[in-house]
Amino acid sequence: NNQKDLKKRPPVVTIMGHVDHGKTTLLDRLRHTHVTEGEAGGITQHIGAYQVDIEGRLITFLDTPGHEAFTEMRARGADVTDIIILVVAADDGVMPQTIEAINHAKAANVPVIVAVNKIDKPGANPNHVMEQLSEYELIPEDWGGNTIFVNISAKTGQNIDEVLEMVNLQADILELKADPDRLAVGTVIEAKLDKGRGPVATLIVQEGTLHIGDPLVVGNTFGRVRSMTNDRGRRVKLATPSTPVEITGLNSVPDSADKFVVFEDEKTSRQVGEERAKRAELNDRQKAHRVTIDNLFDSM
């Protein structure tokens, strides 16, 4: 990449934390939406990808589930992100998935901003949260450390602006850049088979710009971008770096966390895609064969 081709890109910010500590409520507050109200049992069960424009500055947010069952999704969220907002409820304190999130952040080497939430509640004890997190090397600036802590209430909106300020500050420090003019590459956030539309994948573009009609290989499948919708369900024609989009037009459903690569022409992408699909199938067959042999030996 030529340095001069690089342009500033929005930060990708993943919101992590223990179940019900207020991650989705925080996002609802930022986006002026009501996602939490539509969730079954009030539990987030997938990764939501959203882009917010705050006074002309775009921020991409990934909302992860806090329920213990979704470790893999949290790891994935930590892997494609620039910054993590760790939400900790001030009345509940550090809990198992708080610690898990800290470990994902460390493994991915991503800076953490701590949002101590629910400070409107009578039982809130933000100081205790600071003490607890200090044991995990997240030491507040006030105490001589270098982790940013913000006390917030996602419910009342208290100090939400400060969280955004800190995100923007952190993003400036990281000097996030990408080349929007090259062929797009990025990562699958999630994918599914839709009855009417076929394979549908939520992608996050990391380099380049993705266009309608682009031939691409996604993990072990391939296709051509037939339609593209943004996080608000609106049809779009292109997606620039750090933008999440849902696309159709793939031959089969890719795996989450698969990488995607756009090719110059459809012929090459088809060749590469078919080869990868064949190799994956061979791998699967070999694995199945191995299992059969292992079972055979186990039973002897």
| 44 scored as a contact of Mg ion (CB under 5 A) | yes
| 24 scored as a contact of Mg ion (CB under 5 A) | yes
59-67, 173-181, 248-256, 273-281 -> range binding ligand GTP (CB under 6 A): 59-67
Residue 11 binds which of Mg ion, Na ion, ligand GTP, none (CB < 5-8 A, kind-dependent)? none
Rounded-to-integer distance, Cα 93 and Cα 279, Å: 47
Whether 292 and 250 have beta carbons less than 8 Å apart is answered as: no
Least Å from the CB of residue 103 to ligand GTP: 17
Whether 113 and 140 have beta carbons less than 8 Å apart is answered as: no
16-24, 126-134, 222-230, 250-258 -> range binding ligand GTP (CB under 6 A): 16-24
Helices marked H in the chain: 23-31, 71-79, 96-108, 126-134, 160-174, 266-299
- At position 198, the amino acid (one-letter code) is G
Whether 71 and 23 have beta carbons less than 8 Å apart is answered as: no
133 Rama sector, left if φ>0, alpha if ψ -120 to 50, beta otherwise? alpha
Residue 144 among known ligand-binding residues: no
Nearer to Na ion among residue 26 and residue 124 (C-beta): 26
Q: Pick one of 10, 11, 48, 66: the residue that binds ligand GTP (CB under 6 A).
A: 66
**CA distances for 47 relative to 66, 77, 78, angstroms:** 11, 8, 11
39-47, 98-106, 246-254, 292-300 -> range binding Mg ion (CB under 5 A): 39-47
Residue 128 among known ligand-binding residues: no
| 118 scored as a contact of ligand GTP (CB under 6 A) | yes
24-32, 74-82, 103-111, 158-166 -> range binding Mg ion (CB under 5 A): 24-32
Residue 64 among known ligand-binding residues: yes
| 154 scored as a contact of ligand GTP (CB under 6 A) | yes
Whether 258 and 185 have beta carbons less than 8 Å apart is answered as: no
Backbone angles phi and psi of 266, in degrees to 5? -70, -30
| 20 scored as a contact of Na ion (CB under 5 A) | yes
Rounded-to-integer distance, Cα 109 and Cα 1, Å: 23
Q: Pick one of 7, 34, 42, 294: the residue that binds Na ion (CB under 5 A).
A: 42
Beta bridge partners of 150: 115
| 42 scored as a contact of ligand GTP (CB under 6 A) | yes
Q: What is the maximal distance between C-alpha atoms in the chain?
A: 69
Least Å from the CB of residue 230 to Na ion: 25
Nearer to ligand GTP among residue 89 and residue 247 (C-beta): 89
Q: What letter does residue 255 receive in the DSSP assignment?
A: P
By the criterion CB under 5 A, which residues form the site for Mg ion?
23-24, 44
By the criterion CB under 6 A, which residues form the site for ligand GTP?
17, 19-25, 36, 42-44, 65-67, 117-118, 120-121, 153-155
